[in-house]
């Protein structure tokens, strides 16, 4: 019997509708819905859904230490592992491959267990932050705007945006498409004006713009209706929070109707510990058991979890070489496309009815309920924060670089070392378009270390060679380096600070000496 089900593609926040045909629970084909919001169009990711759902690596049986076991055995092991550890040595995490309801259930379970180590593995959610007074763009604003300014490679990550943007552009020659990115992306060819900026310097285009960028920003400011699209995956831009705040600050200063469209997930406020801290605790042995909901094999691929005695995760795909080591328990769940629940999208919250999934899998909600029953606890009900608006004080802090000054103050206590920070944080100090092989120091620091302008120095244990550049307005004890330089990057530590919702490059104290 052929089954047809309309689903909202949960693989990106655009929320395309499509029809999936299946036979006896085996999805085999998709149909394009021309009357849907996106007119039946579907990107390569959406088109690949049948390939993912019928992937040979689909997991259909719980897996303990690389061997298939029954669900009963899996729950027995799960209870045994969890009852062996106290709450401080357990961490509960999840990723974006969960519906909103499932995220709430998982958080409820963590709270009932008394586990403080909760984290959300989706660095993009920090980009959902808004400044006060900034209007969010709707689909109509995107089509009716006179000028669209895109920062980032929109067409690669979200090709579904191509049709509305290009149609609007070609229909009216007065419309403008402006693009800024650190490499010539697909959009460059379609843009009226494009600017290629050095990696990690995107935030600086609003504070210290070169002439060509100034002209672009003026063009955008003069338009009656404009949309600023920000595609800022962390890792590509080194300080996304700074870029988000500066772009919104620029929008607030523009006359006319201006809208903001960050193409990232619109949820914030999950978890209570940054991922960096959890990973550090795993490394130090404080956390001994990680309970991860989502696609554990993807999570496992990113981070070294070898010091962890017990990894318990859910997943729809089954990659032996990464997931199944000693002490690992994998619980098969339906793929996110098959699950029933709500998903956030750019244009609101979507509800998916779900489709019949592979036999042998259990829904995350079912697993949570069964686990709670086994452990004799009642999962708490928790809500989530759908969006967060940055207060004026927080905005000013980012703009002024308050944290940078705090770092500089602390540095005075240390004499022999120089505190290295990413140039980008030091927005007010400028110098972003410097080459990556320089270290900027204050005149006092240079004198203290007996260094002169242009001299070559070695920095840190790895002895990274850089040229000294003296900057008068820098505080003492602070060194500005560029993360465009790969060797410098090795000296820095990257973490996710969940309190301020920011991917940050931690300042590091490094010795420098004349080469």
Partner 1 sequence: MEKVIIVDLDYCIGCRSCETACAARFFEERRIRYGLLSSSSGLVEETITPLPCRHCEDALCLKACPFNVIRKDEKGVVFQSSFECVGCSSCILACPFGVISGNLLRHISQKCDLCRDRKEGPRCVASCVSGALKYVEEKEIPKEKIGVRFISHSPYWRRVK
Looking at the Cβ atoms of 299 and 346, the one nearer to partner 1 is 346
Residue length of the chain: 515
The residue within the footprint of partner 1, chosen from 3, 5, 6, 40 (CB under 8 A), is: 40
Q: Are the CB atoms for 283 and 300 separated by under 8 Å?
A: no
Stretch that binds partner 1, among 182-190, 434-442, 474-482, 499-507 (CB under 8 A): 182-190
The residue within the footprint of partner 1, chosen from 7, 42, 308, 408 (CB under 8 A), is: 42
Q: What are the beta bridge partners of residue 94?
A: 120, 293
Based on the shown chain and the rule CB under 8 A, indicate whether residue 13 belongs to the binding site for partner 1: no
Based on the shown chain and the rule CB under 8 A, indicate whether residue 155 belongs to the binding site for partner 1: yes
**Please, what is the minimum distance in Å from the beta carbon of residue 342 to partner 1?**
25
**Please, what is the minimum distance in Å from the beta carbon of residue 34 to partner 1?**
7
Give the HSE-up count for residue 310: Cα atoms under 13 Å, Cβ half-sphere: 20
Looking at the Cβ atoms of 48 and 298, the one nearer to partner 1 is 48
Q: Are the CB atoms for 40 and 34 separated by under 8 Å?
A: yes
Q: Convert 21-35 to b/e letters by CB count within 10 Å (16 or more is b).
A: ebeeeebeebebbee
The candidate with the shortest Cα–Cα distance to 438, out of 485, 475, 476, 486, is 485
Q: Tell me the backbone φ, ψ of residue 500, rounded to 5 degrees.
A: -100, 10
**Please, what is the minimum distance in Å from the beta carbon of residue 215 to partner 1?**
14
**Please, what is the minimum distance in Å from the beta carbon of residue 194 to partner 1?**
8
Which residues in the 372-411 window bind partner 1 by CB under 8 A?
Answer: none
Looking at the Cβ atoms of 156 and 447, the one nearer to partner 1 is 156
Angle between helices 392-400 and 240-253 (to 10 degrees): 110
Judged by CB under 8 A, the number of residues near partner 1 is 32
Stretch that binds partner 1, among 82-90, 133-141, 178-186, 277-285 (CB under 8 A): 178-186
Stretch that binds partner 1, among 98-106, 158-166, 327-335, 451-459 (CB under 8 A): 158-166
The candidate with the shortest Cα–Cα distance to 513, out of 442, 476, 444, 462, is 462
Stretch that binds partner 1, among 156-164, 265-273, 441-449, 494-502 (CB under 8 A): 156-164
Based on the shown chain and the rule CB under 8 A, indicate whether residue 192 belongs to the binding site for partner 1: yes
The residue within the footprint of partner 1, chosen from 69, 143, 162, 465 (CB under 8 A), is: 162
Spatial distance between the Cα atoms of 513 and 390, rounded to a whole number of angstroms: 41
Based on the shown chain and the rule CB under 8 A, indicate whether residue 23 belongs to the binding site for partner 1: no
**Please, what is the minimum distance in Å from the beta carbon of residue 28 to partner 1?**
9
**Please, what is the minimum distance in Å from the beta carbon of residue 20 to partner 1?**
11
Based on the shown chain and the rule CB under 8 A, indicate whether residue 160 belongs to the binding site for partner 1: yes
Stretch that binds partner 1, among 161-169, 350-358, 490-498, 502-510 (CB under 8 A): 161-169
User: If you ran DSSP here, which 8-state letter would residue 184 be given?
Assistant: -
Q: Are the CB atoms for 364 and 106 separated by under 8 Å?
A: yes
Based on the shown chain and the rule CB under 8 A, indicate whether residue 35 belongs to the binding site for partner 1: no
In three-state secondary structure terms, 245 is helix
CA 299 to chain centre: 13
Cβ atoms within 10 Å, residue 244: 27
Stretch that binds partner 1, among 137-145, 157-165, 229-237, 425-433 (CB under 8 A): 157-165
Looking at the Cβ atoms of 45 and 325, the one nearer to partner 1 is 45
Q: How far is CA 333 from CA 147, 301, 361, 365, in A?
A: 44, 19, 5, 10
Based on the shown chain and the rule CB under 8 A, indicate whether residue 337 belongs to the binding site for partner 1: no
Based on the shown chain and the rule CB under 8 A, indicate whether residue 163 belongs to the binding site for partner 1: yes
The residue within the footprint of partner 1, chosen from 114, 133, 189, 307 (CB under 8 A), is: 189
Spatial distance between the Cα atoms of 431 and 424, rounded to a whole number of angstroms: 9
Own/partner long-range contacts of 189-193 (Cβ < 8 Å, ≥24 apart):
190/165, 190/166, 191/150, 193/219
Cβ atoms within 10 Å, residue 103: 24
Based on the shown chain and the rule CB under 8 A, indicate whether residue 140 belongs to the binding site for partner 1: no
Based on the shown chain and the rule CB under 8 A, indicate whether residue 168 belongs to the binding site for partner 1: no
Looking at the Cβ atoms of 11 and 305, the one nearer to partner 1 is 11
Based on the shown chain and the rule CB under 8 A, indicate whether residue 151 belongs to the binding site for partner 1: no
Looking at the Cβ atoms of 28 and 513, the one nearer to partner 1 is 28
Q: What are the beta bridge partners of residue 341?
A: 352
Based on the shown chain and the rule CB under 8 A, indicate whether residue 184 belongs to the binding site for partner 1: yes
Q: Are the CB atoms for 279 and 91 separated by under 8 Å?
A: no
Stretch that binds partner 1, among 3-11, 125-133, 160-168, 364-372 (CB under 8 A): 160-168
CA 280 to chain centre: 19
Which stretch of DSSP H or E encloses residue 458? strand 456-459
Task: Look up tokens 């092989």; give the residue.
Answer: 437
Based on the shown chain and the rule CB under 8 A, indicate whether residue 41 belongs to the binding site for partner 1: yes
- CB-based contacts of 477: which residues, under 8 Å, 6+ apart? 408, 411, 412, 414, 418, 419, 442, 445
Residues in contact with partner 1 by the rule CB under 8 A:
29-30, 32, 34, 40-44, 46-51, 155-156, 159-160, 162-163, 166-167, 170, 184-186, 188-192
């Amino acid at each position: 019997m052929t089954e047809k089900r309309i689903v909202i593609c949960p693989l990106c926040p655009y929320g395309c509708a499509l029809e999936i045909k299946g036979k006896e629970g085996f999805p085999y084909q998709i149909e394009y819905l021309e009357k849907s919001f996106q007119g039946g169009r579907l990107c390569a990711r959406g088109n690949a859904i049948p390939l993912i759902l019928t992937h040979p690596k689909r997991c259909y049986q719980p897996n303990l230490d690389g061997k298939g076991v029954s669900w009963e055995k899996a729950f027995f092991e799960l209870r045994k592992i969890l009852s062996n550890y106290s709450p401080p040595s357990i961490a509960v995490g999840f990723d974006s491959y969960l519906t909103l309801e499932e995220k709430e259930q998982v958080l409820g379970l963590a709270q009932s267990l008394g586990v403080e180590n909760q984290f959300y593995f989706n660095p993009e959610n920090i980009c959902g932050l808004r400044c006060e007074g900034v209007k969010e763009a709707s689909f109509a604003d995107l089509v009716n705007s006179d000028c669209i300014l895109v920062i980032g490679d929109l067409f690669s990550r979200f090709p579904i945006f191509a049709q509305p943007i290009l149609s609007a552009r070609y229909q009216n020659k007065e419309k403008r498409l402006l693009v800024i990115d650190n490499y010539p992306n697909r959009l460059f060819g379609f843009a009226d004006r494009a600017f290629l900026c050095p990696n990690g310097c995107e935030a600086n285009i609003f504070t210290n713009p070169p002439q060509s960028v100034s002209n672009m920003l003026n063009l955008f400011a003069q338009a009656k209706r404009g949309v600023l699209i920000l595609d800022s995956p962390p890792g590509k831009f080194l300080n996304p929070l700074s870029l988000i705040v500066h772009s919104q600050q620029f929008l607030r200063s523009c006359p006319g109707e201006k809208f903001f469209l960050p193409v990232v997930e619109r949820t914030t406020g999950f978890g209570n510990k940054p991922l960096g801290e959890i990973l550090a605790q795993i490394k130090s042995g404080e956390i001994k058991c990680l309970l991860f909901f989502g696609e554990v094999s993807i999570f496992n691929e990113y981070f070294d979890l070898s010091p962890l005695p017990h990894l318990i995760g859910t997943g729809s795909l089954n990659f032996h070489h990464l997931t199944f080591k000693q002490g690992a328990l994998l619980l098969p769940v339906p793929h996110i496309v098959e699950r029933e629940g709500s998903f956030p999208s750019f244009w609101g919250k979507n509800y998916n009815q779900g489709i019949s999934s592979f036999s042998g899998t259990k829904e995350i909600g079912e697993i949570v309920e069964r686990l709670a029953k086994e452990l004799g606890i009642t999962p708490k009900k928790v809500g989530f924060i759908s969006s967060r608006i940055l207060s004026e004080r927080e905005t000013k802090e980012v703009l002024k670089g308050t944290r940078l000054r705090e770092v500089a103050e602390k540095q005075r206590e240390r004499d022999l070392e120089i505190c290295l920070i990413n140039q980008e944080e030091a927005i007010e100090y400028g110098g972003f378009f410097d080459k990556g092989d320089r270290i900027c120091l204050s005149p006092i620091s240079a004198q203290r270390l007996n260094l002169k302008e242009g001299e070559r120095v070695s920095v840190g244990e790895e002895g990274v060679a850089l040229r000294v550049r003296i900057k008068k307005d820098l505080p003492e004890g602070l060194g500005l380096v560029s993360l465009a330089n790969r060797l410098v990057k090795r000296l820095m530590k990257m973490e996710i600070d969940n309190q301020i919702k920011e991917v940050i490059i931690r300042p590091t104290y490094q010795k420098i000496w004349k080469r």
